[in-house]
Structure 1
Amino acid sequence: MNNKQKYTVTAALPYANGPIHLGHVAGVYLPADIFVRFLKHKQHDVAFISGSDEHGAAITLRAKKEGITPQAIVDKYNKIISDSFEKFDIQFDIFDRTTTATHKETAQDFFKVLNDKGAFTQKTTEQYFDEEHQQFLADRYISGECPKCGNPGAYGDQCEKCGSALSPTDLVNPVSTLSGKTPVLKETSHWFLPMERHEDWLREWVKEGKLEGIVQHDPKKWRNQVLGQCLSWIDGGLHPRAMTRDLDWGIPVPVEGADGKVLYVWLDAPIGYISATKDWAKANNKDWKDYWTGDRKLVHFIGKDNIVFHAIIFPILLKEHGEFILPDNVPASEFLNLEGDKFSTSRNWAVWLHEYLERHPEKVDELKYTLTSIAPESKDSEFTWVDFQSRVNNELADVLGNFVNRALVLTNKYYDGVVPALGELTAEDQKVIDAMKEVPSKVEELLYNYKIREAQSEVMALARIGNRYLAETEPWKVIKTDPKRVETILNLSLQIVANLSILFDPFIPGTSAKLRGFLNMEAFKWEQTGSIELLPAGTKTNKPSILFPKIDDEFIEKEKEILAASQKENESIEEVEAEDEKVVAPQKEDIQFDEFLKMDIRVGKILSAKKVKKADKLLELLVDTGLDQRTIVSGIAKQFDAEEIIGKKVSVLMNLPPRKLRGVTSNGMILMAEDDKGNLNFIAPGEDMEVGAEIR
């Protein structure tokens, strides 16, 4: 492999309309980080680029839902996402944003170049329009039934179930996500990318990896699902796709006659890779063009739902522009499922990375190792907490941790921590040495071919070899009869540990650093791997600590409870109470007036408020009812900040039986009004009403 080969590696820009979950991490960001760490160990010139995608209808939808501005939404989630990556030790060269001045300028210039070259066609078409809200509906403002797989929750641009790219008019029984009503068709003018013009060269480029004037790629290294989806699209016939939208949030279309129109997010977003590179290059005294032109490999790590955008649409745009390289590879992953079901942000069926890190900041490498072990590279896979426990206990603790601990503890016990000299080698020793020498080349070949899960498995196989070597040679017994033999056994064992400290570095870098700390290895190079001279005899090692504490059943049960609780938090407070206590059911039948009189409703005043731990929707309130000061749990945390409701007078249903919600006993209910969009407001008594006054 040419060590001078240059790489620009991108990881899909996450939408800044919510946090990231383990499915995103396993499919995109962790494999990309591992690949880049490896490239840097091999001394490649590489830039690792990502950032938050901060435009598009998904952002405005979230803003409407939370009742704040789109800018406030992207500021909030950009921080959550970027902090999560930092704490999880994903080392981008830059994690940028698509709301920067550099990005706006870059995206508009890109559009103008293509427009001047005649890459677009402008035409008037009918587009869905919401009469109640008096606005055209961008793709994500429309949902309906997917015409290809029947998924009833497909969006106007994509079905997230089958991965098909769609147009709004493709949907069966479309509805507006704003009003919930059937939209009407109304004329509007947009700029379209006539993708059908590009079918011939795209087919040749994807299938053969060759194209005149374009750096060649090896299609054999492309994953089958990527090739299959691309060729299916091309062979099925490409169609024009609008590159502009009627929205008030996004990059304004920089030509006359485009008032009120912004760039389509899938034109805007991938250009974010280029604008981010510009900002990074400027800050590091580099020329950004070096990373997007010439003899350089461009690699996009994405999920399978983004294949068409990165392997068809973006390449068309890059080629039409004329100054940029096309992707060398698009290693798209399949989906990671969770405990027998798909990850779902709408149903809150997810393990959110930032929440995991808040609970377990000391267990970063445990999660990295597990997610890489089950990486959905070629088919869907599944994360379960039981499997997480098994991999930590049986592999990280019992294999890697056990081997490292025994090798170092015995060295401390017999040689005061000093690496003994290598003596005469037996056939058994030579077999171990030969296996150790083979591992680096196997790992390198797999990583260069984007088989990251297998590469990690090869490194762990070396730890298994070491573990088995110690178990079979039994130095704790041999020390009594042949102490010189033990010197060789422990020297080789420590050389294996030293090799593991380098080979594991792309995968579990925190653990690798600990290993080097145990061995007093201050400097290292990847090229040294496979050597039995990594650790010179006479080196003073340090006493080891436990690398991986075992995961007990209580840990797993708690995580399962948190996941189950997240489903209840996603329901109304009444549903939560009904499921938790099985006593409050939805009211369906008429009641008698005498029954209504039994309800004791009074004016209360909120004295304090705070969020209930691990419950996104619940606030714990201390309420003065006139009769007493009581704790009431209310499911209003999504609509109200705790600080803003202190001192507010509310209507309190007093005589509900106490019930426990997320470990907090609630003694009553705050009465709320809810509209058809799920917005809540207090049923508030007049300000002149005294606390304790009865409401009849």
Structure 2
Amino acid sequence: MRPPRPAEDDRPVLVLGPNPTPNGGMHLGHIAGPYLGGDVYARYQRARGRKVVFSTGTDDSQTFVVASARRLGVEPEQLCRDSTELIREALTAIGISFDGFGPFDQTYQDTVLDYFRALHQAGKFRLRTVKMPYLERTGEFLVEGLIEGECPVCLATSRGGLCETCCHPNNFDDLLDPHSTIDPRDIPVVRETTILVLPMEEYREQLTAYHEQWSSYWRPHLVQMVRDVLSRPLQDLPITYPLAWGMPAPFPETPGQVLNAWLELIPAGMYTSSYAAAQLGRDTTPGQLWLPEENMRIVHFLGFDNAYYFALAHMALLMAHGQKYIRPEWVLTNEFYELESEKFSTSKRHVLSVQELLLEVPRDPVRLYLALTAPEYQRTTFTRTGLDKVTRERLVEPWNRLAETIGKATANAAGEAPALPVSAQGRACAATMLARFDFHYEVPNYSLNRCADTILTQIARLGRLAAALDGRGLDEQPEAWGDLILQVRALLALSAPILIDLAAAARQAGGFDGVLEPGAFDVAQVAPFTPPLLSLTAADAAAHG
């Protein structure tokens, strides 16, 4: 089945962001990929008049919480609470417009458990005796965030369960030269244990068909990884682990074990989307929005390092439910975002938090630069020099010259400035802008990089038109001014998903109403107005209100 053309697809949109692990705060590397990507996409869909539910929530069950807590000398529960507040604070500060941030509460846990109980009752899981790393000193098995070694596929340094470099799974005793992440001197032995698994090979045919249908619309690295994984025997997917931290598995065959935390994330998405819908005024049961009769389309934003679970493991689990639930149609991955050409590292104090940066730089320039440099197809890097140079020379200064030129002409008009005529060419240019932005904002071509670059390109173009009119009154060349002002209004509307504070100021000034229907700019005349200005520093922004 060929997916509907986005311009013709007005189904409600379920936008999923990844569930952040509450083992610390959020740095720019987290924000620049799936969170900003999901936010800009959701804002654009709303502007086009589509119903949107955009949600996420924390992933408290991860073993990474335990590992971080032990290194910090705090209780995991306290780390979760503190980190969740920092995460929410960062997302709010940068303007991520989640409709709901689902709490890790009893309803969350009941939703996850019901999802897996249904599969267990249907006989989808198998008991397997496997060999797993075991630390005799502490008497515990080491999995995922508790163990590190070399990936058996690409030989890169990898944690347990999944390699962030090649994105292949490495279950059980696959890691080479493993050691504890809490104390690298702790070398595990191998011990047998019996767990429940999902036999992934049973879903090969369905997985292959799903990816053949959708992969031509996804980013190349994800497609390559899926093909590589499918070219090999599919590993059994661990459903339970013999751990102390996590959600207790409700299966009689595995007493005292917990659910594999990575596998919570789709039922968690069912819960958070229901939670978000409730914030929008619609009460639904968890999972209801994922039923075919709801006629939703799912657009999923995530880092490439998590792609195996979402593109293969979670798809197999959804398929194990039969046709009960819909599946993501669009999966948009991103690569790693670095800081000054080095990987963000909390342990090495090589980080920059959202909150720290926003103390110095206003939110709109930060969002624009992150969008422009987002790691969509390859690793990219944040540099403070680049942020300052790009936002000063290509965003703030040219926009302010453009805005001041229009403002001066409007202020010099005798009395109240009359509505200005718009030519056919002016309307055509505004329509062309809408079509071009739509191409970059909509799937399958969605690209933060291209959206941001198009904003800067249009600012420069409209600045040239304004410079040619500078010093001439509105009454001298009313049609030329009308064409310019219409296109500036169009740019304000089209850049609003990224430049959210400029858009808010423009709405207040009467610059645009936020509507982006196909004929939004097909008007015969336009009212003059004074566009708001941008600030280079947070101090300037605060001084100007």
- The normalised TM-score by structure 1 is 0.71
What secondary structure does 2:41 align onto?
helix
2:314 pairs with 1:317: no
Question: Deviation of residue 124 (structure 1)?
Answer: 1.8
Deviations 1:460-507 (A, max 9, x none): 333222111122x3341x45xxx7333333332222221122111111
Q: For structure 1, which segment, 141-150 or 380-389, has the greater mean C-alpha deviation from structure 2 after superposition?
A: 141-150
**Is 1:95 equivalent to 2:101 in the alignment?**
yes
Judging changes above 3 Å, is the alpha-carbon distance between structure 1 residues 222 and 272 closer, same or farther for their aligned structure 2 residues? same
Q: Matched residue of 2:417: which SS?
A: coil
- Which of 152, 163, 184 matches 1:147? 152
Say whether 1:19 aligns with 2:6.
no
1:211-222 alignment, distance < 5 Å: 218-222=214-218
Q: Aligned partners of 1:157, 1:61: CA distance in 2, in Å?
A: 15
Distance 1:418 1:67 in 2: 66
Going from structure 1 to structure 2, the CA distance change for 1:41 and 1:499 (only over 3 Å counts) comes to: same
* Partner residue, 1:395: 394
| 1:353 counterpart residue number | 354
Query: Match for 1:456: what amino acid?
Result: A
Q: Aligned letter for 1:329?
A: W
Name the counterpart of 2:161. 157
**Structure 1 letter corresponding to 2:380:** S
Residue equivalent to 1:547 = 534
Q: Which has the higher contact order (CA 8 A, sep 6+)?
A: 2
Asked if 1:292 is matched to 2:290, the reply is yes
Any idea what SS the aligned residue of 1:330 has? Answer: strand
CA deviation profile, 1:393-427 (whole Å, cap 9, x unmatched) = 1111133222122111221124456255328x5xx
Say if 2:430 is the partner of 1:474: no
Contact 1:443 1:456 in 2 (8 A): no
Residues 492, 532 of structure 1: 8 Å contact kept: no
Counterparts of 1:201-350 in structure 2 under 5 Å?
A: 201-207=206-212, 209=213, 218-282=214-278, 284-288=281-285, 289-294=287-292, 295-322=295-322, 323-350=324-351
Summarize the Cα distance change of 1:463–1:203 in structure 2 as closer, same or farther, 3 Å threshold.
same
Moved over 6 A (4+): none
1:410 corresponds to which residue? Answer: 409
Deviations 1:210-261 (A, max 9, x none): xxxxxxxx43321111111111111122111211112222111012243321
Aligned equivalent of 1:446: 440
Shift of 1:110: 1.1
Cα distance change on mapping 1:319 and 1:418 into 2, 3 Å: same
AA at the equivalent of 1:123: R
Once residues 200 and 277 of structure 2 are traced to their aligned partners in structure 1, the CA distance between those partners, rounded to angstroms, is 32
1:193 & 1:126 partners in 2: Cα distance?
16
- The residue number in structure 1 matching 2:461 is 465
CA displacement at 1:187 relative to structure 2: 2.0
Report the Cα distance in structure 2 between the residues aligned to 1:310 and 1:499, rounded to whole angstroms.
Answer: 37
- Hey, what does 2:502 align to over in structure 1? 511
1:219 to 1:184, Cα distance in 2 relative to 1, 3 A: closer
Q: Note if contact 2:373-2:382 (Cα within 8 Å) is conserved in structure 1.
A: yes
Tell me if the contact between 2:203 and 2:319 (Cα under 8 Å) persists in the aligned partners: no
Amino acid at match of 1:547: L
Partner residue of 1:494? 485
Look up the equivalent residue of 1:311 and give its one-letter code.
A
Instruction: Give SS of 2:521's match.
Output: coil
SS in 2 for 1:170: coil
Q: Taking structure 1 as reference, are residues 455 and 549 closer, same or farther at Cα in structure 2, changes over 3 Å only?
A: closer
User: Are residues 452 and 416 of structure 1, via their aligned partners in 2, closer, same or farther at CA, if it must alter by over 3 Å?
Assistant: farther
What is residue 55 of structure 1 aligned with on the other side?
61
Q: What is aligned with 1:368?
A: 367
Supply the AA of the counterpart residue of 1:133: T
Distance 2:98 2:519 in 1: 25
Measured at CA, do residues 516 and 45 of structure 1 come closer, stay the same or move farther in structure 2, by a change above 3 Å? closer
Determine helix, strand or coil for the equivalent of 1:331. strand
**In 2, distance between residues paired with 1:154 and 1:268?**
21
TM-score normalised by structure 2 residue count: 0.90
Verify the 8 A CA contact 2:25 2:86 in the aligned structure 1. yes
Larger deviation, residues 229-238 vs 412-421: 412-421
Q: Which amino acid aligns with 1:333?
A: N
Q: 2:50 aligns with which of 27, 41, 44?
A: 44
Compare 135-144 and 26-35 and name the one that shifted more: 135-144
How far did 1:445 drift? 2.3
Distance 1:343 1:524 in 2: 36
Give the Cα–Cα distance (whole angstroms) in 1 for the partners of residues 416 and 371 of structure 2: 33
Is the CA contact (8 Å cut-off) linking 1:440 and 1:530 kept in structure 2?
A: no
Deviation of 1:178 after TM superposition, in Å, equals 4.2
Counterpart Cα distance in 2 of 1:79 and 1:417: 49
SS in 1 for 2:131: strand
Deviation at 1:74, TM superposition (A): 0.7
Separation in structure 2 between the aligned mates of residue 419 and residue 251 of structure 1, nearest angstrom: 66
- Determine if contact 1:253/1:263 at 8 Å carries over to the other structure: yes
- SS state at 1:349 partner: coil
SS of aligned partner of 2:230: helix
| CA deviation string 1:93-141 (max 9, x = no partner) | 11123x3101111111111111111211112222211111111222221
What letter is aligned with 2:307? Answer: I
Alignment check: 8 A CA contact 1:436 1:462 kept? no
Percent identity over the alignment is: 24
Q: How big is the shift at 1:33?
A: 0.4
- Mean Cα deviation higher: 45-54 or 171-180: 171-180
Whole-angstrom distance in 2 between the partners of 1:302 and 1:318: 18
- Count of residues in Structure 1 that have an aligned counterpart in Structure 2: 525
8 Å Cα contact 1:7/1:299 also seen in 2: yes
Separation of aligned partners in 2, 1:454 and 1:70:
41
Opposite residue 459 of structure 1, the aligned amino acid is I
Q: Deviations over 1:560-619 (max 9, x none)?
A: xxxxxxxxxxxxxxxxxxxxxxxxxxxxxxxxxxxxxxxxxxxxxxxxxxxxxxxxxxxx
Aligned to 1:619: none
Structure 1 residue runs of 5 or longer lacking an equivalent are 210-217, 553-696
CA RMSD of the aligned region, Å? 2.4
Distance in 2 (CA, whole Å) between partners of 1:550 and 1:71 is 38
Tell me the distance in 1 between the aligned counterparts of 2:329 and 2:412. 52
Equivalent position of 2:516 in the other structure: 526
Does the Cα contact within 8 Å between 2:429 and 2:487 map onto a contact in 1? no
Q: What CA distance in whole angstroms lies between the structure 1 residues aligned with 2:23 and 2:147?
A: 17
CA distance in 2 between partners of 1:510 and 1:47 (Å) = 22
Tell me the equivalent position of 1:137.
142
Whichever residue aligns with residue 335 of structure 1, its letter is F
Asked if the contact 1:298–1:327 (Cα under 8 Å) also holds between the matched residues in 2, the reply is yes
Residue deviations 1:321-379, cap 9 Å, x none?
A: 2311111011001222221222223323221123223x23x611111000111122122
Contact map agreement 2:56 2:269 (CA 8 A) in 1: yes
Q: 1:529 to 1:394 in 2, by over 3 A?
A: farther
Q: In structure 1, what is the Cα distance between the partners aligned to 2:383 and 2:489?
A: 32
Contact 1:439 1:459 in 2 (8 A): no
* Residue 182 (str. 1) matches residue 177 (str. 2): no
Alpha carbons 1:119, 1:193 under 8 Å: kept: yes
**Is the CA contact (8 Å cut-off) linking 1:121 and 1:194 kept in structure 2?**
yes
CA distance in 1, matches of 2:270, 2:442: 24
1:206 aligns to what SS in structure 2? helix
Letter in 2 for 1:184: V
Which one is further off, 282-291 or 169-178? 282-291
- Partners of 2:335 and 2:377 within 8 A in 1: yes
1:459 Cα offset (Å): 3.5
Please identify, of 310-319 and 446-455, the stretch whose mean Cα deviation from structure 2 is larger: 446-455
